[in-house]
């Protein structure tokens, strides 16, 4: 895989470089303000290296999940503004992805200047399953540049036009963030130092069950928290009330518990509430006692203790997914406790996932306590699962 530094060494001054970056930052539901700019910051090293080398940098990125058409709620305008502040020079935002405005603005770029294309997911073709549809968008994106650099680690597991197809059309290289992520993930997959403990939480239950299956034979302990908890509790025949539940995955969870119940650690207590809100009374109850008319939005203190015990003495830890709805103050305890235990690990500790990384910062924890904070949740999980990631495979060719 060619690196961006090799590309720079060969000379990019005055050349147009299409940089796929991961600028998919969380936004406040009401104000639309950026609540965590970690991903923007993580994209700076590659961006600044290209700028310093005199490249005309055309940045492509996605934000949220617009429905394949322009939608002001998902405009990259706030990202362009924040990126400009960080770079100390304004970042121009194109009015479209790869249309007439983008083309005109690219033509006007000076050496070292940065143009941000509008949200690539404003084009339905970006995420299309149809090769020809994606190809048409990739053609237009490729026409904007001489080289392609992928630094969007959080998107390398997607076979999307701006991640995969465009790399087939331009001389390409991997950005510094992608290189760093790969270095750490390789350490997790190639003979990790034992005990190896993985903590999984978050909300994308069915996404993560595949990972659990792949990881179970490789880890010493798998700690389950977050939204996945309740499908596992249901598999044990327990009431979960209106907590997150994927009924069609209960059988899978039953099988996993039967096959590897000795390695899977589930929460023993939970924080329940009648409503998904920060302003309602909460109770800590045993995991066996969730009332039918309430929901659990966090793991309880005894679970944090249990998880901390399992993490103490681990030499390799990978954590993905908050333990609860940490965005709401009453449900932060589980994530905070587990994040602290992961940070205290003596060996290699890796945090993966946009929301997990955001939780570390939002809860005011020390980022320096972790060996690595990955910007990509799905991507790092699929890598650990041993799957081929389209965005990486295409860079290696
Ligand atoms: P990451 O981005 O780190 O990979 P996910 O995107 O899978 O993590 O999940 C993050 C989300 O999971 C958070 O927004 C959090 O509110 C939510 N979550 C965690 N626990 C629960 C729960 N018990 N019920 C509902 N949502 C939950
Ligand atoms: Mg997420």
Q: What is the pLDDT of residue 191?
A: 85
Rg of the chain over CA atoms, in angstroms? 22
CA of 155 to the centre of ligand 2 (A): 12
Which residue in the list 15, 39, 82, 336 is annotated as catalytic? Answer: 39
CA of 353 to the centre of ligand 2 (A): 6
pTM exceeds 0.85 for this model: yes
Of 121, 317, 108, nearest to 219 (Cα)? 317
Q: What is the pLDDT of residue 366?
A: 94
Tokens of residue 84, six digits: 């400009």
Buried b (16+ CB within 10 A) or exposed e, 12-25: beebbbbbbbbbbb
- Of 36, 154, 202, the residue with max ligand 1 atoms within 8 A of its CB, to mutate for a pocket test, comes to 202
Alpha helices of 127-241 — where are they, by DSSP H?
Answer: 131-142, 176-189, 205-215, 229-235
Which residue in the list 20, 176, 204, 221 is annotated as catalytic? Answer: 204
Q: What is the pLDDT of residue 204?
A: 72
**C-alpha 102, offset from chain centre:** 27
Q: Which residue in this structure is represented by tokens 């990972």?
A: 211
Asked if 334 and 359 touch (Cβ cutoff 8 Å), the reply is: no
Q: Is 39 a catalytic site residue?
A: yes
Q: What is the pLDDT of residue 378?
A: 87
Using CA atoms, how far apart are residues 300 and 267, in angstroms rounded to an integer? Answer: 8
**Paired sense of beta strands 295-299 and 172-174, if any:** unpaired
CA of 372 to the centre of ligand 2 (A): 17
Q: What residues form DSSP beta bridges with 378?
A: none
Ion ligand 2, residue ranges at CB < 5 A: 354-355
CA of 375 to the centre of ligand 2 (A): 10
Asked if 224 and 267 touch (Cβ cutoff 8 Å), the reply is: yes
Looking at the CA of residue 326, tell me the nearest atom of ligand 1: 16
Looking at the CA of residue 322, tell me the nearest atom of ligand 1: 19
Asked if 372 and 351 touch (Cβ cutoff 8 Å), the reply is: yes
The edge-to-edge listing of strands for the beta sheet with 196-200 is: 264-265, 221-224, 196-200, 316-320, 348-352, 372-374
CA of 324 to the centre of ligand 1 (A): 6
Using CA atoms, how far apart are residues 97 and 139, in angstroms rounded to an integer? Answer: 12
Q: What is the pLDDT of residue 333?
A: 98
Angle, alpha carbons 185-308-348 (nearest 5°): 25
Using CA atoms, how far apart are residues 61 and 163, in angstroms rounded to an integer? Answer: 10
Looking at the CA of residue 328, tell me the nearest atom of ligand 1: 16
For 212, 214, 380, the CA distances from 263, given in Å and listed in that order, are: 11, 13, 21
**C-alpha 287, offset from chain centre:** 29
| Cis peptide leading into residue 232 (ω within 30°) | no
Looking at the CA of residue 324, tell me the nearest atom of ligand 1: 20
Pocket of ligand 1 (CB under 6 A): 201-204, 226-227, 244, 296-297, 320-322, 324-325, 327, 353-356, 377
Q: What is the pLDDT of residue 203?
A: 87
Q: Tell me which DSSP letter residue 318 carries.
A: E
Q: What is the pLDDT of residue 339?
A: 98
CA of 202 to the centre of ligand 1 (A): 3
Buried b (16+ CB within 10 A) or exposed e, 298-331: bbbeebbebbbebbeebbbbbbbbbbbbbbbebb
Q: What is the pLDDT of residue 397?
A: 81
Asked if 60 and 20 touch (Cβ cutoff 8 Å), the reply is: yes
Q: Is 135 a catalytic site residue?
A: no
Q: What is the pLDDT of residue 225?
A: 98
- Of 64, 275, 321, the residue with max ligand 1 atoms within 8 A of its CB, to mutate for a pocket test, comes to 321
pLDDT beneath 50: ranges in the chain: none
Q: Is 221 a catalytic site residue?
A: no
Q: What is the pLDDT of residue 207?
A: 77
Q: Is 376 a catalytic site residue?
A: no
For 185, 232, 267, the CA distances from 283, given in Å and listed in that order, are: 38, 21, 15
């Amino acid at each position: 895989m060619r690196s961006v530094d090799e590309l720079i060494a060969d000379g990019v001054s005055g050349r147009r470089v299409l940089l796929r970056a991961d600028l998919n930052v969380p936004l406040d539901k009401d104000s639309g303000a950026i609540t965590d700019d970690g991903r923007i910051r993580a994209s700076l090293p590659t961006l600044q290296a290209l700028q310093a080398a005199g490249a005309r940098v055309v940045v492509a990125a996605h934000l949220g999940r617009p429905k394949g058409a322009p939608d002001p709620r998902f405009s990259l305008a706030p990202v362009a503004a924040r990126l400009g502040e960080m770079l100390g020079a304004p970042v121009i935002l194109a009015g479209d992805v790869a249309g007439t405005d983008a083309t005109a603005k690219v033509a006007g770029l000076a050496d070292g200047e940065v143009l941000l294309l509008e949200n690539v997911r404003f084009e339905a073709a970006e995420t299309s399953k149809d090769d020809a549809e994606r190809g048409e968008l990739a053609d237009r994106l490729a026409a904007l540049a001489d080289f392609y650099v992928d630094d969007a680690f959080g998107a390398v597991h997607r076979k999307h036009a701006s991640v995969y197809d465009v790399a087939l059309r331009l001389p390409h290289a991997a950005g510094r963030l992608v290189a760093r992520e790969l270095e750490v993930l390789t350490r997790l997959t190639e003979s990790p130092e034992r005990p190896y403990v993985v903590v999984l939480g978050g909300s994308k239950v069915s996404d993560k069950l595949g990972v659990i299956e792949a990881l179970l034979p490789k880890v010493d302990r798998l700690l389950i928290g977050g939204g996945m908890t309740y499908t596992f509790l249901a598999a044990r025949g327990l009431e979960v009330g209106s907590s997150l539940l994927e009924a069609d995955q209960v059988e899978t969870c039953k099988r996993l518990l039967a096959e590897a119940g000795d390695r899977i650690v589930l929460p023993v207590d939970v924080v329940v509430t009648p409503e998904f809100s920060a302003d309602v009374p909460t109770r800590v109850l045993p995991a066996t006692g969730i009332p039918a008319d309430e929901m659990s939005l966090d793991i309880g203190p005894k679970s944090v203790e249990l998880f901390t015990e399992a993490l103490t003495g681990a030499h390799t830890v990978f954590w993905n997914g908050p333990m609860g709805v940490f965005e709401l103050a009453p449900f932060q305890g589980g994530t905070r406790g587990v994040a602290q235990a992961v940070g205290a690990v003596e060996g290699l500790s890796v945090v993966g996932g946009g929301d997990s990384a955001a939780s570390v910062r939002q809860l005011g924890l020390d980022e320096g306590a972790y060996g690595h904070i990955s910007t990509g949740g799905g991507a790092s999980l699929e890598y650990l699962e041993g799957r081929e990631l389209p965005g990486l495979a295409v860079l290696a060719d």
